[in-house]
Structures are given as structure tokens and as C-alpha cells.
Amino acid sequence: MNIALFGGTFDPVHKGHLAVARAVMADPRFKLERIYFIPADWPPHKQQHEITPYIHRYAMLELALEQEAFFTVSEIEACTPGKPQPNYSIDTVRRFRETLGAGDLLYFIVGADAFQQIRSWREPEALLLEARVIVVNRPGVTIAEAMKAAPEGARLDHVYFIETVAQDISSSAIRDAVAKRRPLEDLVDPLVAEYIRKHGLYV
């Protein structure tokens, strides 16, 4: 079984995220059977930023993936109430690997902009050993620039690059649309847009 992990804050999940996952799923190099979307409860690189509560981000992912046969939302990074712990990618990858067989392949999806910071992650060399990393293009970051960020001695044969049709959508663009009371359906799934309005998020 070949699976991929797609982690992030997903604050909120938007059409750009879905475009990335669909492009990865369709790539014949990976032969994926499922992609797990993993919202971070306490992302270590964003502890100084205000983040929408996990329960809302998880719920919006469930709504966005409702009609996606090969995508699943995972709560593996949900923290125990009252005991927040930073969500490190290497720990998540290792927990998933324990569930796989010897012949199964585990992939980890990351944006080129995030990959540029990989040396600051926990155990980056180990991450590239435990999983095959799929780096997807992001505006303003070339593949050559992303490659320079790989840790010395890393298994670069475990790193794949993919050009996707991902839209350049950001949380700030969604917040701006909410503030100006513009329709959100061009940015997020209609069910997610309805959830945002119902719960008064991003105001």
C-alpha cells in the first residue's frame, strides 16, 4: 500500500490544498492509494501566530474531503486536552510507518517554500530516510532553490518534485474576503465557506 501524508495548519483548507493533493494523487510515479490530510494541533513553526482552534480546522477538512474518495482527514496530531505538544513531522511519519508493511511506501507532501526551511525541522535527515518527500511548487520558489535546502548527506533519490495547478491562495486572502463580505466559494469548498460564515471565523 502506498500512502501520502499532507500536513499543515489548514487554516482553513482551501482549493489550493485540494489542487495539490489531486495532482499528487494523479501522478503515476507514486501509485498512491490514499492521501491523509493531517491538521497540526500545535505546529512548532507557528507558535507565535494566532491559529484557529483545532476543532474548527478539523471540521472544515472533513467537509472539504466529504466527496473525495481517496482523501482522508487524520487526527493523529490532535493533542491531549490540557497537554499541548508540538507536532513534529518526523514523529508523525514514524507513527504512520508503524502501521505499514515492509513493501509499502510512505510519501510526505510539502510545499517548496516549506522545504526551504527543512534544515530547521526536527531530524530532517531522518525524515528523508523514513519517507519519500514530494515537493510541490510554490510561487516565488524554484526547484533549484528548493534543492539547495536539502540537508547535507540526505537521500535526494527520495525527493520528488511536482508542478501542480495549485492556486496561490492564502489565509490572509480568505480573511480579507471575509472582512469585505465577498463570496468565499472561489477560495474554499462551498461547505467550508458556509462553515466559516456560520461560526464567524476569520473576522
Q: Which range (12-16, 35-39, 95-99, 154-158) has the least confidence?
A: 154-158
Each residue of 179-197: pLDDT tens digit?
A: 899 999 999 999 999 999 9
Residue from 179, 191, 162 nearest 15 by CA: 191
What pLDDT does residue 190 have? 97
Report domain extents, the chain: 2-168
State the alpha helices, DSSP H only, in the chain: 15-26, 54-64, 89-97, 112-115, 124-130, 143-148, 171-179, 190-199
Report CA Rg, the chain. 17
Q: Between the CA atoms of 19, 25, 27 and 31, what dihedral angle is there, to the nearest 10 degrees?
A: 170
- Mean pLDDT, the chain, integer: 90
Helix (H, G, I), strand (E, B) or coil at 101: coil
Each residue of 90-137: pLDDT tens digit?
A: 999 999 999 999 889 999 999 988 899 899 999 998 999 999 999 998
CATH number assigned to the domain covering 2-168 = 3.40.50.620
